[in-house]
Amino acid sequence: MTPNSKATLNFADGTPSIEFPIYKGSVGPDVIDIRKLYGGTGKFTFDPGFMSTAACESKITYIDGDKGELLYRGYPIEQLAVNCDYLETCYLLLNGELPDATQKKDFEHRVTNHTMVHEQMTRFFQGFRRDAHPMAVLVGCVGALSAFYHDSLDIQNPEHRRISAIRLIAKMPTLVAMAYKYSVGQPFMYPKNDLSYSANFMRMMFGTPCAEYVPNPVLVRALDRILILHADHEQNASTSTVRLAGSSGANPFACIAAGIATLWGPAHGGANEACLVMLGDIQKQGGLPKIGEFIAQVKDKNSNVKLMGFGHRVYKNYDPRAKLMRETCYEVLNELGLQDDPMFKLAMALEKIALEDEYFVSRKLYPNVDFYSGIVQKALGIPTDLFTCIFALARTVGWIAQWTEMIAEPDQKIGRPRQLFTGAPRRDVTPIGQR
C-alpha cells in the first residue's frame, strides 16, 4: 500500500496535531491509516459497530452498498450465479482466478475425495438431543474436526492451509446432512463420488438406504446457486470473527466453528430462519390482509419487531443477491408446481408495501439475501431450522479464503481492540464487616 495523500488531525485540548497517510484501494473508500494515533496522542478512535473502520486489507470480495453491487475477485455476482457453479466459485475465492477446465476438474476431484468424515464423528451426534438446533450440532462438530487432523494444523505451512480448506469445504455438506438425518432419526447417508457437490448434498439430505435417490437437476442447480450467493461477503460479523480467531493462531477448524457461532444470530445468518418464522406468523394472523398491521408494528419502536430479511449495514440499495434469490425462488416454485405458494405471495406483497413505505425508503431498507432464501429452501424440502446451516455450509469457503489471506499477511498481528472505560476508577476494597 502506498500513501496517496494525508490527513491532519488537530486537537482543541493542546495535543499536538498529527498527520496520517491515506491509502486508496482499487475501488471503494480511501482509508486513513491511524495505527500511530495512540502512540502519537495517547488517544483511541471510538467505533463500536465498526461503522467507519476498515479492519484489514483484502482482495477477495467488494461490495458497493450504494450501487447494490457485489464482486467476488472482481466478477459480478450476477455473472457468477449464471455462468459458474459453486465449486468453480470456491476455486475463484481461494485462488483469485477462475479455474480452466483442467484446474476445475482437479479441484472437484480433491474436494470429492474428502467428503467423508472420520467414522468416529458419528458418535458426536449421539450426545445431542434429537431436537437440538442443528447450528448447535454444527458448531460442536466442526470444532471437533481439529481433533482428527493433527497432520495439518501448522497454519504457517501453506500445504496444511490448503488441505484444511479442502477438508472444510468438502465435509460441511456431509456434517449438515448428518445433523438433519440425526434430527429425523434416519440413517446417515455416505457421500457418493460420482455426484456433483450440490447433488451429493441433496442425496445425503433426502436419500435413504431403502431406495435410489435421483436428484432433480433443476433443484440441484437452484441449491448450487444459493451456495454461490452466500459464499462470501467482505468483512461481515462472522468473517470478522474468523479473522480475529485466526489472528491468535487458532487452527482453521476452531476458527470456522467460531464463524458458525457468530452466523447463528438472527441479525446475521439466522435472519433467513427468522424471516420464514415472521412470514408464518403473518400467515397465521390472516395473511395478506394483516400486512398493514404488521408493518405498523415494525414502525413502532416499542414493539421491538423488525422486518426480518430487510436492511443491511452496507447495502443502502437492493441486495443483488436478493434479486437472484427471488428469481431462483420463482424457478423452484414453478418446477414444483407451487407457483401459488402463499408464503411467496405474502413475501412479494410485503416487499412491495415496504419498498413504497416512507419508513423503509427513508432508512434505505431493502430486501437482503435472507428475505427470499427461506422460501426457496423450504420449497426444496429443507427444514427451517437448517437454513442457517446451509448458509454456514456456503460461507465456509469465504471464511477460509479470508482466513488464509489474513494468515499470509506479512505483518499479521493478533487482533486486540482497546476501549473507552467509563467504569469505577481505582478504589480500595472495604473489609466485609465495614460494607
- Residue sitting closest to ligand SDX (CB): 311
36, 59, 105, 363: residue in contact with ligand SDX (rule CB under 6 A): 363
> Is there a contact between 309 and 375 (Cβ–Cβ < 8 Å)?
no
Measured from the CB of residue 333, what is the shortest distance to ligand SDX in angstroms? 22
> Is there a contact between 92 and 83 (Cβ–Cβ < 8 Å)?
no
Measured from the CB of residue 27, what is the shortest distance to ligand SDX in angstroms? 17
Residues 42-71 within binding reach of ligand SDX (CB under 6 A):
none
309, 324, 346, 392: residue in contact with ligand SDX (rule CB under 6 A): 309
368, 373, 396, 402: residue in contact with ligand SDX (rule CB under 6 A): 368
> Is there a contact between 288 and 347 (Cβ–Cβ < 8 Å)?
no
Rounded alpha-carbon distances, angstroms, from residue 233 to 216, 229, 243, 340, 418: 29, 9, 13, 32, 26
Please confirm, yes or no, whether 312 is among the known catalytic residues: yes
172, 178, 220, 369: residue in contact with ligand SDX (rule CB under 6 A): 369
24, 104, 160, 268: residue in contact with ligand SDX (rule CB under 6 A): 268
Measured from the CB of residue 181, what is the shortest distance to ligand SDX in angstroms? 27
Binding-site string for ligand SDX from residue 215 to residue 234, where x marks contact by CB under 6 A and - marks none? ------------------x-
The answer to the question of residue 313 lying near ligand SDX (CB under 6 A) is yes
85, 273, 341, 370: residue in contact with ligand SDX (rule CB under 6 A): 370
DSSP state of 411: T
List strands edge to edge, sheet with 18-23.
5-9, 18-23, 31-32
The answer to the question of residue 236 lying near ligand SDX (CB under 6 A) is yes
Q: Which is nearest to 141 in space by CA: 94, 181, 197? A: 181
Amino acid at the residue 214 = V
Nearest CB to ligand SDX, comparing residues 93 and 144: 93
Nearest CB to ligand SDX, comparing residues 85 and 370: 370
Contacts of 311 (CB under 8 A, 6+ apart): 363, 365, 366, 368
Residues 314-333 within binding reach of ligand SDX (CB under 6 A):
314
Put residue 50 in one of left, alpha, beta given phi > 0 → left and psi -120 to 50 → alpha: left
Greatest alpha-carbon span in the chain:
79
Among 233, 312, 341, 385, the one annotated catalytic: 312
Give CA–CA dist 194/191, Å, rounded.
9
Q: Point out which span in 81-89, 112-120, 133-141, 301-309 binds ligand SDX (CB under 6 A).
A: 301-309
271, 279, 346, 382: residue in contact with ligand SDX (rule CB under 6 A): 271
Q: What is the 3-state secondary structure (H, E, C) of 282-332?
A: HHHCCCHHHHHHHHHHHHCHHHCCCCCCECCCCCCCCCHHHHHHHHHHHHH
Measured from the CB of residue 304, what is the shortest distance to ligand SDX in angstroms? 10
What is the set of active-site residues?
312, 370
Residues making contact with ligand SDX (CB under 6 A) = 233, 236, 267-269, 271, 298, 306-314, 363, 365, 368-370
